[in-house]
Structure 1
Amino acid sequence: MAVLQFAKATKLTMKILELENGKTKATRQHGFFILMSGFHLFKRDRTLFPNKIEENGREEARLLGKESAVEAGDSQCDHTPNERRINVVEEVGNPVHPLDEFDVFRLIEAGKLCLPPSTEPQDRCKSDGLAKFLFVVQTLWFIAQFIARKVSKLPLTKLEVITLGYTLLTVAMYIAWWDKPYRVTSPIRVYETLPECTKKQEELKRGMEETGFVSMAIWYAAGAQGGYIDLRSVRGVPLFHSGYIGKEFSDLSSLLTTIIVGTLFGAVHFLAWSSPFPSTHMQFLWRFATIVMTAVPSTTIVITLFGVPIGEYVSKILGALILFSLFLLPPLYFVGRGITIVLALVTLATLPLDAYRDVEWSDFFPHI
C-alpha cells in the first residue's frame, strides 16, 4: 500500500508539472497532499460574516460571494495585496466532500485553483524532521546490535529475530512514505463550482454502489479500494487511499515490493532455524512458519497473475481449485505470523545464559 501510494503521488506530481508547464515547483509532497484530501470542497455560509470591514479609517465593501481559488493566499493566485489586507475575516462555510484528482486537475487547468507553496502542506501536515532522524538512528542502532551479536557468536532470541523482520517492513514503508505528510487536519478550502462528473468518476460511483461489503474488504486489504470509492459521495478519504488506479490493479512497483519485502521478512526467520528450542515440536513449528511466510507472498502474486487466467482458460474445475488455494494462502500466512509471535514470547522463559550478555564493543574498534 505504501509503495502504491508513492507511485501514485509521483504520477500526480508529474501531471501537475505538465499542466503548469514548469511554472510551479511541485514536489511529491503535493501528490501525497492530493491523495490525503488536501483540497476539500466547502459551501459558503453568507450569514456568518459581515460584508463590510473598516480599514485605514474608511469602509471598503467586499462581496463574500467573490470567487476565490483557495482559502490560503498564494503568490500565484489572482489576489491583490489590498484584497489580502482587507480579508481579515476567514471564510469557513460548511464542508461538502474531498476533491479527487480529477476535480483538482480540472480546476487547475481552468485557472480556478492554485497549488500552495511546498512549505504550506508541510506546515499544515505537521511533518517533523526530528522524528524521522530519531527513527533512522534507532533503527540503525538495533540492526548494528543484531549484527554484532551474530558476529560475537552470542545467541539471538526469537524475539530479536522477529523484531528484525518487522524493522525491515518498517524501513520499506518509511522509505515510500518519506515525503508523505503526517496527516491533513486542516485541508485547503475550495469554494468553486465543480464541473460535471467525468466518465471515470461515474464509473467509480457505480462501482461503489454495486460492490458489496466482502468485496470491498478484499479491495481494502489489497490497497485497491481507490478504484471503488467516489470521493464526491463521501465526507473523507478512506483509509490507505491510493487514488484512482483502475480496475486492472496492475501497478508493477507495488507487486514487486510485495514479493521482495514479504519474502525478505520471512527469510529473516531462517536466522533462528538451528537455534535451541525448549522442544522439537516448537522447533518444527518455527521452521514450518518460516517456510510459509517466505513462500506465500511470491506464491500468491504468481497465482493471481498467471494461475487464475490459466485455470479459467483450461477448465472451470481447475479454476475453482486455483481460486480455493488462493483464498487459503492469506489465512495460512497469518497463522505462520501468529506462530512465530507466540514462540518468541514462550521461549523467553528458557533463554540460555549467554543471551543476557551484552556485546563487547571494544572488540570491534581499536583501543588502548
Structure 2
Amino acid sequence: MAIDLVYGWQPSPNVRGTIDILWSCLFTIFLCTWSALHLNIRSPSENYWIYTLRKARWMVQTLTGPEFVVWFACGQRYEANLSVKMFQEIGCSEWTIRHGFYANMGGIRLKAPDFPPFPITARHLHYLVDQGYTTFPKISMEEVWDKSKADLFTKTLVCVQICWQVMQVVARFVQNLPVTSLELTTLSYVVCALAMYFMWLDKPLDVETPTIIEIETTIKDILVRAGPAAAQPYEQSPLDFVDNLAPCWWINVQKYLFFRVDPRERPMQRLTNDKFPMVGVGFEIFYYAMVAHGFAGIHVAGWNFDFPTPLEKILWRAASLTICGLMVVISFLEGASDWHRRNRGLSLRTWLFRDNLDSLDRRPSREDAMAHPDFVPYWEFLAFVPTTLVYSAARLYLMLEVFLELRALPRRAYLSVQWTNFIPHV
C-alpha cells in the first residue's frame, strides 16, 4: 500500500500559464474599453438594450482605434469649456463645464407649445436664453452629477486592475523578463483609457432622465424672428440655424458612402456620439497629440520582442511604424480640416499682408460655415479614406499578432515576477 508523503509550507510556483496572460490582459482591456465610455443619453423611444448594443458598438470602435475615441472625448471637453465662456458673456456665471457636458449629451430637452420635445445643445440653450425665450435653467452642478451612474466601486476596480497590469509590465522590464505583445498592447489601451477618463472627468455617466425646459413662445415664432438665418427647412431640429450638429459621421459622412442616415426621427430625439470635434489650437489638441502618438509609440517598444518567426517580427515593426507615421498624417489632415471649417486662410492672409483689415469682420462665422454644403468637403473625404484603410490594415495585423505570438513564447515569458526582489532587505 502506497504511503502519501506529507509536506509542510510550500511556496507558490514561480510560473504562469497562457490562460493567466490571456485573462489578465483581456479583462484589463475590457475594463478600459467599456467602463471608460461616457455616451450620450438615449432617445425616449429606446430601451436599455438598444443603449447597451450602442455601447457595445462603441466598445468595438475603442478596441480597433482607442486613440480616435480619445479624439472625440477631447472635442467634447473643448465644446463644454467653450459653452462656459459663452454663458459667462451673457452673465450666467453659474454655468460650469459639467453643465456643458450635460447639455451637449442630450441632458436638456426643449418643449414648445407647437412642437414635440427634442434635445438641445449648449449652443441652442445659449441662444434661447440670450434672446429671452427662456430664463437660465436652475440646474445646480450637484443635480447634474446626481444623475450620473458612476460609482466609486466600479472606478476603484478599474483603477486597481489598471495599476496591477502596469506594475506587471514595468516589473518584467526591470527584472529582464520577456513581455508579450499582448501585455504591451494592453498597456497602450491603459494609456487611452486614462486619457478618456481625464477628458470625461466632468461628464455624467449613463444618464437616463433628461431635464425638460418649457417655453411659451412657439417654434414658429422663434424661426420668424430669426429671419433669413432660419429660412431653410431644418434637417436635424428646428434650431439648426444655431447649431446643426455638424460635422458628424452619421449625418455628414454616411451620405457619401450611400449608407442609411441615422437616427431617422425628426426632430432628432438623441444627440449622436460621433460628432467630429473641432478643438482648435489649445490644450485639448496638444493633449490628444501626446496620447495618440504615445499609443502608437508603445507598439514600437516591441521592436526586439521574440516573435515566433522572423517574418512576424518584420511585420510587427512595419505595422507599428505605419501607425506612428499615419498618426502624423491624420493630425495634419485634422488640422487642415479645422483650417477649412474655421476659414483661417482669410485670417492668415489679412494678418500677413494687412491690405484688407475689414475682411476679418466679413469672414463667415462657425455657424455660417457649418450651414455651407461643403462643410465636409470631398477632398477631406478622399484624403481620409486611403489613410484610414492603411491604418486599419496595420491595426488589424497588430491585433491578430498579439494572439498568434502566444503559440510560441520563450520559456522565460512564463516566469512570474519575483516581487520579493523589490522589498529592501539586508
| Counterpart residue identity of residue 161, structure 1 | L
Counterpart in 1 of 2:125?
A: 104
* Counterpart for residue 156 of structure 1: 179
Residues 198-209 of structure 1 mapped to structure 2, 5 A cutoff: 198=226, 205=234
1:347 is matched with which residue?
405
1:262 equivalent in alignment to 2:298: no
Residue 85 of structure 2 is matched in structure 1 by 14
Q: Does 140-149 or 233-242 show the bigger shift?
A: 233-242
What's the counterpart of residue 104 of structure 2?
Answer: 35
Query: Could you report, residue by residue, the CA deviation over 1:259-303 in whole angstroms, capped at 9, with x for unpaired residues?
Result: 322221111012211111111111111011110111101122225
Q: 1:43 to 1:325 in 2, by over 3 A?
A: closer
**Aligned twin of 2:329:** 299
2:281 pairs, out of 252, 258, 262, with 252
Amino acid at match of 2:121: D
Tell me which amino acid in the other structure corresponds to 2:107: G
What amino acid maps onto 1:265 in structure 2? Answer: F
For 1:32, the aligned partner's letter is F
Deviations 1:19-58 (A, max 9, x none): 3454x3x33211101101111123679xxxxxxxxxxxxx
**Counterpart for residue 172 of structure 1:** 195
| Aligned position for 1:237 | 271
C-alpha contact 1:161 1:272 (8 A) present in aligned 2? yes
Contact 1:98 1:236 in 2 (8 A): yes
Q: In structure 2, what is the Cα distance between the partners aligned to 1:159 and 1:170?
A: 16
Aligned-partner Cα distance in 2 for 1:8–1:212 = 14
Q: Name the CA distance, whole Å, in 2 between partners of 1:166 and 1:19.
A: 41
Q: State the one-letter code of the partner of 2:273.
A: L
In structure 1, distance between residues paired with 2:418 and 2:233 = 60
Number of aligned positions between the proteins: 297
201 and 340 in structure 1: CA distance in 2 versus 1, 3 angstrom threshold: farther
- State the identity as a percent: 24
Cα deviation per residue 1:54-74 (whole Å; 9 max; x = unaligned)? xxxxxxxxxxxxxxxxxxxxx
Contact 2:307 2:409 in 1 (8 A): no
Q: Distance in 1 between the 2:118 and 2:75 partners?
A: 23
Aligned to 2:74: 3
What is the CA distance between 1:333 and its match in structure 2? 0.8
The whole-number CA distance in structure 1 between the counterparts of 2:186 and 2:125 is: 41
Matches within 5 A, 1:117-136: 117-136=140-159
Equivalent residue of 1:233, what SS? Answer: coil
Distance 1:145 1:96, change over 3 A: same
Tell me the distance in 2 between the aligned counterparts of 1:97 and 1:146.
48
Asked if the contact 1:126–1:183 (Cα under 8 Å) also holds between the matched residues in 2, the reply is: yes
C-alpha distance in 1 between matches for 2:193 and 2:302: 21
Match of 2:252? 216
- Separation (CA, whole Å) in 2 of partners of 1:174 and 1:133: 13
* Match status 1:289 vs 2:316: no
2:139 to 116, 126, 137: 116
Residue 208 of structure 2: aligned partner: 185
Name 1:364's counterpart in structure 2. Answer: 422
Please state whether the residue corresponding to 1:272 is helix, strand or coil. Answer: coil
State the distance in 2 between where 1:178 and 1:357 align. 38
**Does structure 2 retain, via aligned residues, the 8 Å contact 1:27–1:118?**
yes
Whether 2:385 is the aligned partner of 1:327: answer yes
Please provide the CA RMSD for this pair: 3.9
TM-superposed CA distance for 1:358, in Å, is 1.4
Contact 1:40 1:95 in 2 (8 A): no
Structure 1 residue runs of 5 or longer lacking an equivalent are 46-93, 310-319
Q: Which amino acid aligns with 2:73?
A: A
Please tell me the residue identity of whatever aligns with 1:256. F
What residue ranges of structure 2 are gaps of 5+ in the alignment? 1-71, 341-377
Q: TM-score of the superposition, structure 2-length normalised?
A: 0.60
- One-letter amino acid of the counterpart of residue 222, structure 2: E
Is 1:4–1:251's contact at 8 Å kept on the other side of the alignment? no
For residues 230 and 329 of structure 2, the distance between their equivalents in structure 1, rounded to whole angstroms, comes to: 34
Distance 2:100 2:287 in 1: 20
Structure 1, residues 151-185: CA drift from partner, whole Å, max 9, x if none?
A: 00000011001111111111111110011101331
Q: Is the 8 A contact 1:35 1:241 kept in 2?
A: no
What SS does the aligned partner of 1:273 have?
A: coil
1:326 CA displacement: 4.6
Letter in 2 for 1:101: A
Partner SS, residue 181 of structure 1: coil
Structure 2 CA distance for partners of 1:157 and 1:15, relative to 1, 3 Å: same
Name the CA distance, whole Å, in 2 between partners of 1:236 and 1:321. 29
Q: Which residue of 2 aligns with 1:140?
A: 163
The TM-score, its normalising length taken from structure 1, stands at: 0.69
**Which digits, 9 at most, give the CA deviation of each residue in 1:180-223, with x for residues without a partner?**
10133111112213562457777894697999988723799xxx
Say if 2:309 is the partner of 1:279.
yes
Q: CA 1:219–1:9 in structure 2 vs 1: closer, same or farther (change >3 Å)?
A: farther
| Contact 1:262/1:297, CA 8 A, preserved across alignment | yes
Distance 1:131 1:240, change over 3 A: farther
